[in-house]
Structure 1
Amino acid sequence: MYRFIARYHLEMSKLRHLQVKFWKISFYLPSENLESTSDLENLDTCSTLLISLDQVENIIGKIPNVRDLKIRLSKAEESSGYCNMSPLQSLESLEVSSLPPNNVEFSFPPTLKELVLEGLRLSWSKIQLIGELPNLEVLKLLYQSFMGERWDLTDGGFIKLRFLSLVSLDIVEWTDTSCDDPSTCLQKLLFTKVFELKTVRSCLEHIYNLEEIMVKQWTNAVKSLVKKIEEEQKCCGNENLKIIIID
């Protein structure tokens, strides 16, 4: 059914919104004869599109001006594991999942304001590329989006990030190389099921704009980390930081 719908819509050049809203259901565009179908140049929002890794370039070429996109990746037998989203120069919101998880490499357009990742099994060394996105305001890292125990945050990244969510990750240490510039834009921070977390970046204790930290399904170690941040924030004059701890 979803194959038929996709084929039909490919001929609707004025289509602006294409969404499948049922939970964990996606649609896909037929790869055969794709080059002979019309581009959806007016398409603004699209979700959730199932894409084989070996067809990424061909598929996104059909939706060149999409602004809000949700995709689910499937791995082809001869796929390189590389997903280049850079050609989408109007893209502002992107959600990418790969379930079951696969090792995938990425390139993103500089226009991105919101990014949600799940199941990509990226190394934490790759997050620097995300930090270089000049307009990124919202980042949600979900289950197995990144693998490894240590995230070393380098200077100069995430210059506009306002909201960060870490969910179901095996991270133990989240550190920064220096605290020379604590004037980051970060306002809200969410920890969910980060049971192994033992260390957080020291700059969190001094970020001027921090408004809220929410913790869901926590350990005592995570709770202690958050309380320490709260105490240090108060010492720096921030009496309005809201701490929300949910069992």
Structure 2
Amino acid sequence: MSESLFINSRLRLLRVLKFSDRKDYKGTLEFLDQLRYLEIPCLPWKMSGRLENLEFLFVTEPNSIDPVFSNLPKLRHLYYPSRISEDWIIPQTHSLETLSGVLVCDLDDEKILRCFPHLRHLKCNYDYSWNDCPDLSFLTQLESLTMTFYIRRVKFREINFPSNIKKLSLHGDFPCEMMSSIGKLPNLEILKLDSLDFVGEDWSTNDDEFQKLKFLKLRYLEFEQWNTSEDHFPTLERLVLESCNYFESIPSELGYIPTLQMIEVYSCGISIRKSAMKIKEEQEEYGNEELKVIIN
């Protein structure tokens, strides 16, 4: 018996397996039929072996070849930092609930995402070659979406996110003018905006936006003016600002949101810090002792 076969046969009851680098992976996964969690730098060309109980698969490095998946009926969570090839889309992967790290470059990638209709959590990197945001409205069970944009100054014609989405995180070069579409998502409760390309822009919200939003985090945003009202965030409970040094102040109207419990300010300019304290003082004058303001 070869060394690799001997090692695997001894570990056949193993449920969690993690390889730290490519050198650690040798041999076959054939005997690991009880494996639940596998973390591996780069997939072999063929995922051979009896992995019918595998539920979590994390590929930590980009793949230069398209792996062939087989016999993974219980796979629910996949991290794969590359483009997905339709060559390895098989019926067994249609039950995926979590898909992370994937690269979306063109319409073909959007079509491949349609092979996962039961996704509940999606994290993807967007690098389109034309002015269209991928249409994800077909993911009717999606609850959480994280998108990172790697293109500059794109003017999207429209944006179609799933209407049932509850948590949305946007990173990179997302155009400010499309924020109104985000605000109209009827079930959105958590919104995180990080390093968006709002330089020189004004962010204005409207009465019919963010009606269920409870948590809002703004990080490294460079818009100059935030035009909003308490009616635009009627259910907001927590507001977090981090490294926002360009816009003048937190709108005082937000202090009158009846559900607001906390404002947190981290590494922001003095004008932002002063406006946060001013909101707290105004609310105390009106008898609102519940609002907490944290400044670091």
* Higher relative contact order (CA closer than 8 Å, sequence separation 6+): 1
Between Structure 1 and Structure 2, whose CA radius of gyration is higher?
A: 2
2:78 is the alignment partner of 1:18: yes
Residues 179-223 of structure 1: per-residue CA shift (max 9 Å, x gap): 5x4771101111111101114334212111111111111111111
User: SS where residue 8 of structure 1 aligns?
Assistant: coil
Does the 8 Å CA contact 1:75/1:102 hold for their aligned counterparts?
no
User: SS where residue 181 of structure 2 aligns?
Assistant: helix
Over 3 Å counting, the alpha-carbon distance change for 1:10 and 1:237 in structure 2 is farther
Other-structure match for 2:84: 29
User: SS where residue 155 of structure 1 aligns?
Assistant: coil
Provide the rounded CA distance (Å) in 2 between the counterparts of 1:147 and 1:112. Answer: 27
Which is further off, 139-148 or 191-200? 139-148
User: SS where residue 57 of structure 1 aligns?
Assistant: helix
TM-score for the superposition, normalised by structure 1: 0.84
TM-score for the superposition, normalised by structure 2: 0.71
Higher strand fraction (1 or 2): 1
Structure 2, unmatched stretches of 5+, are 1-41, 43-61
Other-structure match for 1:155: 207
Does the 8 Å CA contact 1:117/1:141 hold for their aligned counterparts?
yes
2:256 is the alignment partner of 1:206: yes
Provide the rounded CA distance (Å) in 1 between the counterparts of 2:140 and 2:171. Answer: 22
User: SS where residue 40 of structure 1 aligns?
Assistant: helix
Provide the rounded CA distance (Å) in 1 between the counterparts of 2:282 and 2:162. Answer: 37
User: Which structure 2 residues correspond to residues 91-170 of structure 1 after superposition, within 5 A?
Assistant: 91-99=142-150, 101=152, 103=154, 105=156, 106-123=159-176, 125-144=177-196, 146-170=198-222
Provide the rounded CA distance (Å) in 1 between the counterparts of 2:250 and 2:160. Answer: 27
Which is further off, 210-219 or 140-149? 140-149
**Over aligned residue pairs, what C-alpha RMSD do you find?**
2.5
User: SS where residue 85 of structure 1 aligns?
Assistant: coil
The one-letter code of the counterpart of 1:16 is R
Residues 73-132 of structure 1: per-residue CA shift (max 9 Å, x gap): 1233xx343211111100000000023656263311111000000113312x32111111
Identity %: 31
1:236 CA drift (Å): 3.0
Which is further off, 148-157 or 107-116? 148-157
Structure 1, unmatched stretches of 5+, are 21-25
Over 3 Å counting, the alpha-carbon distance change for 1:102 and 1:96 in structure 2 is farther
Provide the rounded CA distance (Å) in 2 between the counterparts of 1:212 and 1:159. Answer: 18
Count of equivalent residues: 234
The one-letter code of the counterpart of 1:42 is S
Other-structure match for 2:101: 48
